[in-house]
Structure 1
Amino acid sequence: MPTEGSLKSSGSASSQRTQPPIIAFTASAVAVFFFGSTFVPVKKFDVGDGMFFQWVLCFAIWTVGAIVHFIQRSPIFWHLAMVGGFLWATGNIMVVPIVKTIGLALGLLLWASFNMLTGWAISRFGWFGLDPEPVQNPILSYVGVALSVISIIMFLFITTDDQSSQPTEECDQINACERGLRRQPVKADEKRTDNKNDESWVQSLSPLQKKVLGCSLAIIAGILYGSSFVPVLYIKNQGKKNTPGYEGASQNDLDYVPAQCVGIFVASTIYFFIYCVAMNKRGKVYPETIIPGLLSGALLASASCGWSVANRYLTSVVSFPIITAGPGFIAAVWGVLMFKEVKGLKNYVLLIVGFCFILAGSLAIVFSKA
C-alpha cells in the first residue's frame, strides 16, 4: 500500500511530466513564430549591402543576452559558448544577399532545411566530440531526413519575384529627400556612380546568377546556424561526465545564451570593422534601418531563448526538427501574403508540397525518438 510520502512523490513526478511538455512546446511555438518573422520589420527598407544592418541587429541580440544574464542571476560565463555565436554571426552576414537574390520565403526555407539537417546529423551521430543521441527507430529517422532532402530539391525549383532588384518607390522618395536636404544638384555622372555603388554585385547579376548565389549562401548559412549549438552541447556533455574543467556545467541551455550573444556581437563588430576598412569611406550606412534592425535583433534573440528553453526538456534531436521546420512556413506566409515574393500556381504548389515534405520529415524524426 502506498504511503502518503510515496503519493506526494508520485503526484510531483506526474506534475513534472505534464508541465515540461507544455513549457517546451510553448517555447517552441514562440521560437518558430519569431524566427519566421525576424526580417519582416526590415523587409521594406533599403539596407544596402547589409553590413550596417547586421551590426545593429547583433547589438540588439547582445542587449537581450545581457538582460537574460541578469534574469538568470549571472550564471558561469563559458567562453567556449562564444564560438557558437561566431558561427551564427558568420551565417548571419549572408542573410541580406540571400533575401535580395532569392527572397525571404525561399531563403529561409532553404537555410532552415540545412539548419535542421546539420543539427540532426551532429546530434544523431555525435560529431565534434558530442555523445551520439540514440533513437528507438533509426529507419524512421532516416526516412525523415530523406523527406527533408526531397523538400530542399523542390524549393530549388521555386522562382521568386525579387522586388529588390529595382529601386522601390519608398527608396526613391528617401533619396529625393536626402538630395533636397543637401540642396546640391546631383550630376548625371554622380547619379550613375551612386546607383552603381548601391546596386553593385547583387543587383547587376542575372536571374540565374542570383538563384545560384542565393541558394548557395542559404545552404552555407544553414550549415553554420546548425553548428552554432555545438559548443553548448559539448559543454553540457562534458559537464555530465564531470570532465576536468567542466565540473558543474549547467544543463540549462538558457544559461549559455548570454555567452552566445556576446560571441555574436563581437564577431559582427569584427566583420563590420573589416568592412569599413575595406570600403575606405565608401561603406553604406542607412539610419532608417536602425529601429527595424533593433526589432529584428530582439525577435531573433527572443526566439533563441525560446529554443534554449525547449532544449531543456527536449533533446536536440527532437527540438531541431520542430524549431527549424516551422519558421520556413511562417516566412513563406509573410512572403506570399504581404511581400508577394512567390507568384503563380506552379510556385504555390511547389511551396505547399515542399513544406508538407519537410513537415512530414520533421515529424518522422521526432517520432523516431519515441
Structure 2
Amino acid sequence: MKSSFVFLCISATLAVLTITSAAPGRGNANATIPANRTQNGTVTCAGLNDQKKALEGFIAAFVAILFFGSNFVPVKKIDTGDGVFFQWIMCMGIWLCALVTQLVLSFHPNNNNNLNQTVPVPFEPEALLGGFLWATGNMFCVPVIKCLGLGLGMLIWGTVNCLGGWASGRFGLFGVEASLPGNEAENFSGVALCLLGVIMFVFVKSEGKKTKSNETDDERAHLLFSKKIQAETESTTLKDMSKASDDLDDSWVDRLNPKVKKIVGTVMAIAAGLLFGVSFDPVTHLEQSNCHNPQNGLDYAFSHFCGILLTSTSYLIIYCFIKKNKPQVIGEAILPGLLVGVMWAIAYGAWFIANANLTQTISYPIVATAPGLVSALWGIFIFAEIRGVKNLVFFSFACALIIGGSVLTALSKS
C-alpha cells in the first residue's frame, strides 16, 4: 500500500511538471502566423507551430485519460460513507493542486521577447461558474449509483457528458463559438463509435473477489457490520441501539420504491451529465471573447477550482444542517480522498490544455470516453473484478470501438 501511494505521488508530480511545461504561451495573441505553407509547398513556422500544438494537445489528452481512469484507485477498498464528506475532501485535494499550479504559473515567464518577464495569473469570477456546475453534477453521482447502479449510472451521465461537451464546442452552444473540425464525417463517426464503446461497457459485469472462506465482498462486509452491532450492544441500551440503527440507516434514496427510484436516478444522471458537459464552457467563453485574455486554459484553473471548493463546502454545510451536525465522517478516507482530488485535478488541468490545443470538438469525445478503458484495465489486472470469456469479449469490443472512435476524432482535426 505504501509503495502504491509513493508511486502515485511520484506520478502526480511528473504529471504536474509535464502539464506546466506543455502549457502554451500565456497572453501571447500574436504567436502564430496565418499561413501554414508557402507557394512552393514548404512548411512555414506557423505550420510547425500547429503541429507542436496538436502534439501537446494529444499528450495532455493522454495524461487526462490516464489519471481520470486511475484517480479512484486509492479509495477502491475504503468505505466512503454516504459520499458527501468524501467529495468535500476530494474537492480540497483539487483546490490544493490548483493552488500549487497557480503559484507555478505566477512565476512562469511570459512567452514574448523578454523571457524574464512574468505575467500575473488573473482571477476570473466567470470561471467560478464552471466549478459550480461540475461540483453540483458531482453531488448527483452517489444518489445516481444508489438508484441505478454503477454501470447504468455511468453509462447515462457519461453519454450525456460526452454529447454535451462535444455539441457545445461543435455547434457553439451556451455562448461558446463553434469550432468546426477539418473533416466533419470523421468527427461525427468518431463520436458515434466512442458512444457505442461506452454503451458496450454496460455489458461488462464486475465480479467481487472471493475471500478465503468463499465469501463475497458483500457477505464479508455484512459480517463485519454484524460484529460491529454486536460489540455496540455490550455498551448500549436497547433504546440507544434503536437510535443508532436509525442513524446508520441508508439515505433517502433507499426509501423510494423501485419504479420511482429508477425515474429519479435517470433524471439525476442526465442532469449530472449535462452539468459535466457544459462545465468547460465558461472558461472557453473567456478564451474566445477577448483576444487579450490568456489563451492557456490553465490560467483559469485556479478560478475554476475555487468554484468547485466553494460549491462543495456550501453543500457540506447544508448537509451538516440536515444531519443535525452529525455527518458521516470516515477518517481513513481523508488522505486517500486528498490523493483522489490531486489526481483528478491533474487530469482536469491536462484536459484544459487539450481543449486549448485541439478544441473541444476534438478533445472532448476522446477524454470523456477513453478513461473507462483505463478503469477496466485496473479491474482486470489488479483487482481481478472482470473475469470470464463473455466479459472479456464485451471489453474487447468496447476497447476497439473507443480506440477506433478516438483515432477518427483525432484525424478529423486536419
TM range (shorter): 0.7 to 0.9
Higher RCO (Cα < 8 Å, 6 or more apart): 1
Query: How many Å separate the matches in 2 of 1:174 and 1:59?
Result: 33
1:25, 1:310 within 8 Å by CA — same for their partners in 2? yes
1:275 pairs, out of 319, 332, 335, with 319
TM-score under structure 1 normalisation?
A: 0.81
Q: CA deviation at 1:77?
A: 0.9
Query: How many Å separate the matches in 1 of 2:317 and 2:233?
Result: 31
* Secondary structure at the counterpart of residue 290 of structure 2: helix
Counterpart of 1:129 in structure 2 is 175
Counterpart of 1:317 in structure 2 is 361
Question: What pairs up with 1:1-370 in 2 under 5 angstroms?
Answer: 16-17=49-50, 19-73=52-106, 74-98=120-144, 108=154, 110-161=156-207, 166=218, 168-169=220-221, 172=224, 176=228, 185-187=235-237, 190-191=240-241, 194=244, 197-201=248-252, 217-240=268-291, 248-370=292-414
Compare 50-59 and 209-218 and name the one that shifted more. 209-218
Q: CA deviation at 1:338?
A: 3.9
| CA distances 1:13-68 after superposition (whole Å, capped 9, x unpaired) | 57645543443222222111111112111121111110000011111111111121
1:135, 1:369 within 8 Å by CA — same for their partners in 2? yes
Query: For the aligned residues, what is the CA RMSD?
Result: 3.7
Cα pair distance change 1:42/1:161, threshold 3 Å: same
2:74, 2:340 within 8 Å by CA — same for their partners in 1? yes
Q: Report the residue type matching 2:70 in the other structure.
A: S
Q: CA deviation at 1:139?
A: 2.7
Between structures 1 and 2, the one with greater helix share: 1
Q: CA deviation at 1:313?
A: 1.8
Q: CA deviation at 1:293?
A: 0.8
| CA distances 1:83-128 after superposition (whole Å, capped 9, x unpaired) | 0000110111233345566666765565443322211111110001
Q: Report the residue type matching 1:45 in the other structure.
A: I
Q: CA deviation at 1:337?
A: 3.9
* Secondary structure at the counterpart of residue 95 of structure 1: helix
2:176, 2:284 within 8 Å by CA — same for their partners in 1? yes
* Secondary structure at the counterpart of residue 228 of structure 1: coil
- Unaligned 5+ runs, structure 2: 1-37, 107-119, 210-215
Q: CA deviation at 1:199?
A: 3.2
- Unaligned 5+ runs, structure 1: 1-5, 241-247
TM-score under structure 2 normalisation?
A: 0.73
Compare 29-38 and 220-229 and name the one that shifted more. 220-229
- Matched-pair identity in %: 37
Query: How many Å separate the matches in 1 of 2:159 and 2:70?
Result: 16
- How many residues align? The count is 354
2:162, 2:368 within 8 Å by CA — same for their partners in 1? yes
Query: How many Å separate the matches in 2 of 1:299 and 1:104?
Result: 21
Q: Report the residue type matching 1:78 in the other structure.
A: E
| CA distances 1:276-308 after superposition (whole Å, capped 9, x unpaired) | 111213421111111111010001111111112
Query: How many Å separate the matches in 2 of 1:352 and 1:107?
Result: 21
1:275, 1:283 within 8 Å by CA — same for their partners in 2? yes
